């Protein structure tokens, strides 16, 4: 009689249990883009990848259906197929499959030469080199990518990335383009998930179709999706961390003959007459020559009611802006003082003290 081997228990995953919510009845205002005071350094620790949830005033908990979260898109680097077969689905489960809920997200496929220089990673596409950032949530993907390059000697890799766009105050300086690594498709792997749905240089972009003050090209603004865990995090977080976490990604898209116009804020109109931005879901192709994304196809009909999302309040933004301005002034003052101290003549500090004058002798008459 043979004994059955005890089955190993797998560790619980860190997947988020996200509540599905009804669309917000409030009108959507354009995102106020904060000035970029400091340059982004590589690597980047993106707070969006940490498991944490839209403002309480826009939440409706009447629905209990589960939904997905785009902060951790269910796509990782594809590994070679294992010998274990995938579980089969019954006909009943396949027939009851429903379309996934609409979510804010931006993810795509990028094939290029990867280079690593002084702990900084870059990817070359179409003759141009772009910074390849990574978050602490995706360090394992970066380590696997480095190992793949070292093992195979092949620097050209098929990457799964988020677009990372940096806009600058004033709108005179053009935005800069980078990418954040999510995963990669190995040369011996079979493409699944996003790698099978998208071709090279194609991106799935879902967000609010609108103009922002610092960009001449209309953008699709991708906000953080709501979940209860994120809401609890935001309630206890400091203002600066809260604002950074809820910062949206504004992706410039060239989209001629769009079925809905991009929303443009008009300061002369009242809030009730502003209208609203449409939530769009499209497939776009990255054009490295123009450093922009070009419309390919529509994935769903544009909606006037977007999914609930996270957006920093004006009060928190103002507080963070004042704090950053004060810190910048203090830093400039310290630099000016150190510069003035260095410019002082050395003789003033190193010369010996002058001798005291001798007392005058008055002759007696």
Express each pLDDT in 342-362 by its tens digit.
776 654 555 556 677 776 666
Inter-residue contact 73 to 130 (CB < 8 Å): no
What percentage of the chain exceeds 70 in pLDDT?
66
Residue 353, pLDDT score: 64
Q: How confident is the model at residue 229 (pLDDT cuts 50, 70, 90)?
A: confident
DSSP class per residue in 113-138: EEEEETTEEEEEETTEEEEEE--GGG
Residues 9-42 pLDDT 10s: 433 334 333 333 344 444 444 444 443 333 333 4
CA–CA separation, 198 and 250 (whole Å) = 21
Reading the block at residue 59, the tokens are 């939440």
| Beta pairing partners, 120 | 117
* Rounded CA separation 284/115 (Å): 26
Q: What pLDDT is recorded for position 262?
A: 96
Distance from CA of residue 116 to its chain's centroid? 21
pLDDT digits (tens, 9 = 90+) for 86-104: 344 444 444 445 677 899 9
Average pLDDT over residues 131-150: 89
- For residue 176, is pLDDT > 50? yes
Taking phi first (over 0 means left), then psi (-120 to 50 degrees means alpha), and beta for anything else, what does residue 126 get?
left
Q: What is the pLDDT of residue 130?
A: 96
Long-range pairs, 92-97, Cβ under 8 A, ≥24: none
Torsion angle of the four alpha carbons 198, 140, 178, 129, in this order, in degrees rounded to the nearest 10: -90
DSSP-derived letter for residue 263 is B
- Residue 195: is its pLDDT beyond 70? yes
Reply yes or no on whether the pLDDT at 46 is more than 80: no
* CA 263 – CA 277 distance, rounded (Å): 5
Provide, rounded to the nearest whole percent, the portion of the chain with pLDDT above 90.
Answer: 38
Give the rounded distance of the alpha carbon of 95 from its chain centre: 36
Decide: helix, strand or coil at residue 210.
Answer: strand
Residue 72 reports pLDDT greater than 90: no
Determine the average pLDDT of the residues in 311-323.
79
Stated length of the chain: 365
Using pLDDT thresholds of 50, 70 and 90, give the confidence band for residue 78. Answer: very low
User: Could you tell me which residue, 337 or 84, shows the higher pLDDT?
Assistant: 337
The answer to whether the Cα torsion of 166, 142, 16, 231 is positive or negative is negative
* The pLDDT of residue 351: 57
Which residue's structure tokens are 């776009």?
Answer: 284
Handedness of CA 226, 227, 230, 235 (dihedral sign): positive
Tokens describing residue 6: 């005890």
Backbone angles phi, psi at 67, to 5 degrees: -140, 180
Res 55 pLDDT > 50: no
Return mean pLDDT, the chain.
74
More confident residue, 88 or 244: 244
CA neighbor of 228 nearest in space, from 346, 55, 92, 75: 55
pLDDT value, residue 196: 81
Which secondary structure element, helix H or strand E, spans residue 197, and what is its range?
A: helix 194-197
- The band of 75, judged by pLDDT with boundaries at 50, 70 and 90, is very low
Whether the CB-CB separation of 25 and 156 falls below 8 Å is answered with no
């Amino acid at each position: 009689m043979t004994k059955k081997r005890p089955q190993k228990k797998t560790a619980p995953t860190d997947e988020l249990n996200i509540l599905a919510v009804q669309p917000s009845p409030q009108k959507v205002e354009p995102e106020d883009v904060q000035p970029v005071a400091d340059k982004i350094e590589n690597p980047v620790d993106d707070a969006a990848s940490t498991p944490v949830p839209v403002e309480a005033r826009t939440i409706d908990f009447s629905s209990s259906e589960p939904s997905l979260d785009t902060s951790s898109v269910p796509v990782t680097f594809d590994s070679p197929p294992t010998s274990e077969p995938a579980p089969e689905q019954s006909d009943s489960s396949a027939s009851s499959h429903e379309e996934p809920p609409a979510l804010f997200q931006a993810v795509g496929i990028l094939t290029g030469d990867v280079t690593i220089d002084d702990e900084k990673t870059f990817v070359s596409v179409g003759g141009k080199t772009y910074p390849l950032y990574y978050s602490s949530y995706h360090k394992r993907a970066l380590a696997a990518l480095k190992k793949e390059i070292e093992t195979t000697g092949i620097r050209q890799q098929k990457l799964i990335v988020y677009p990372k766009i940096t806009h600058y105050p004033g709108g005179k300086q053009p935005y800069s383009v980078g990418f954040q690594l999510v995963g990669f498709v190995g040369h011996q792997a079979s493409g699944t998930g996003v790698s099978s749905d998208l071709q090279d240089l194609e991106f799935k972009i879902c967000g609010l179709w609108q103009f922002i003050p610092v960009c001449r090209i209309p953008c699709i603004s991708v906000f953080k999706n709501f979940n209860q865990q994120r809401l609890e995090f935001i309630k206890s977080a400091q203002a600066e961390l809260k604002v950074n976490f809820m910062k949206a990604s504004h992706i410039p898209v060239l989209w001629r003959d769009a079925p809905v116009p991009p929303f443009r804020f008009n300061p002369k109109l009242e809030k009730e007459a502003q209208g609203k931005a449409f939530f769009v879901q499209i497939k776009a192709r990255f054009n490295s020559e123009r450093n922009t994304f070009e419309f390919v196809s529509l994935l769903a009909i544009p909606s006037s009611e977007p999914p609930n999302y996270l957006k920093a309040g004006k009060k928190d933004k103002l507080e963070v802006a004042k704090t950053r301005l004060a810190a910048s002034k203090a830093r400039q003052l310290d630099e000016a003082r150190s510069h003035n101290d260095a410019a002082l003549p050395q003789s003033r500090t190193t010369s010996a003290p002058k001798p005291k004058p001798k007392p005058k002798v008055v002759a007696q008459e």
